[in-house]
Amino acid sequence: MNKKIIYSGIQPTGIITIGNFIGAISNWLKMQDDYDCIFGIADLHALTVRQVPAEYRKRALSFFAQYIACGLDPEKSILYFQSHVAEHAELQWILNCFTYIGEMQRMTQFKDKAAKHADNINMGLLDYPVLMAADILLYQTSLVPVGIDQKQHLEITRDIAVRFNNLYSPTFTVPEAYIGERGAKIYSLREPGQKMSKSDPDPNAAVSIIEDADVIMKKFMSAVTDSDTVVRYDPENKPGVSNLMVIMSEMGGLGIQEIERLYGDKGYAVFKRACGEAVVERLKPIKAEYDRLMSDKDYLMAVARDGAERARRLARRTLNKVKRKVGLVEQ
């Protein structure tokens, strides 16, 4: 790997929405040519919340297949399951010894999750950022795409790396936040003032990238708009219609002005149908590839094993260096 390394770990929870696809994954596809990318399914992280084992296993594999179906290329990037590379947990333990309890207790996300899961405030919730630090530092990562809720975790990762480097000489690359081209922000089809979320309790609020065409069309036909009939881009006064216009622009390749020209006076029913059809058409090859992958588990697991082996080679190099520096006896 001779380019800058980008690492991103994603928990296999909920669904991948068209909002995720437009806002994030479409940019990851471009990153593959400019960086050495490592995409991990962060299945260890998600264990901080109780999971139904059979369902969780199926969902994690589905996530893995969806990433490949979207265009993340196992030949260009490393795609793997976090739990398949034991070095993550091993480095986490060592980094725990260089992390202070007060630092973890101040983490905003720990406070939020502890409040939501008061009956299950486990050590994983508290120690989550150190595992995230291990994920990133194992691969000498230069850049990490982070959302607002993960910025604090990246800062503690940087603090741990600098602390270790100062004690034992340069060992870890100190990562920076990746600020790339931002995809359009997509809002709920039912509450256009809120971001489209995979965890929304209303099943009609979000559109999955692997839903059947008829389900997608029903969701768009029932999308919230307004009492007007004109298709016009006006996020403040017409948030629902404006959101649909952005979705159609991103998924169908039409400019906002062109959408206004084609559908401005056609009425909402015609526009919603056209928007739904554009999304269905864009997702058709993704859905077909996903179905193919899920029907060929042997291939899917071969890709996962290869990704884990490639990840392990990089991880082992870093971990061996760390173990030597802290004084552990080498094998």
What domains lie within the chain, and their CATH numbers?
A: 5-183+297-326 (3.40.50.620), 213-291 (1.10.240.10)
Q: Is 163 helix (H, G, I), strand (E, B) or coil?
A: helix
Q: DSSP secondary-structure letter at 25? A: I
* Rounded distance between C-alpha atoms, residue 220 and residue 250, angstroms: 15
Give me the amino acid identity at 288: A
CA atoms in the 13 A half-sphere facing the CB of 52: 4
Tell me how far CA of residue 140 lies from CA of 44, 86, 170, 172, 187, in angstroms: 20, 17, 11, 6, 35
Q: Which residues pair with 178 in a beta bridge?
A: 145
Active site residues: 113, 195, 198
User: For the CA atoms of the chain, what is the radius of gyration?
Assistant: 22
Question: What is the pLDDT averaged over residues 190-202?
Answer: 90
What would the two tokens of residue 16 be? 């991948």
- Which of 26, 65, 64 is closest to 186 using CA atoms? 26
Directed axis angle between helix 239-252 and helix 268-294, to 10°?
50
Looking at 107-121, 154-168, 241-255, which range is the least confident one?
A: 107-121
Token code pair at residue 51: 């999971």
Q: Would you say 149 and 161 are in contact if contact means Cβ atoms under 8 Å apart?
A: no
E strand segments, the chain: 5-10, 36-41, 78-81, 143-145, 176-178
Whether this model's pTM surpasses 0.85: yes
CA separation for the pair 18, 311 (Å, rounded): 28
Q: What is the pLDDT of residues 246-268, one digit of tens each?
A: 999 999 999 999 999 999 999 99
State pLDDT tens for residues 128-151: 899 999 999 999 999 998 766 667
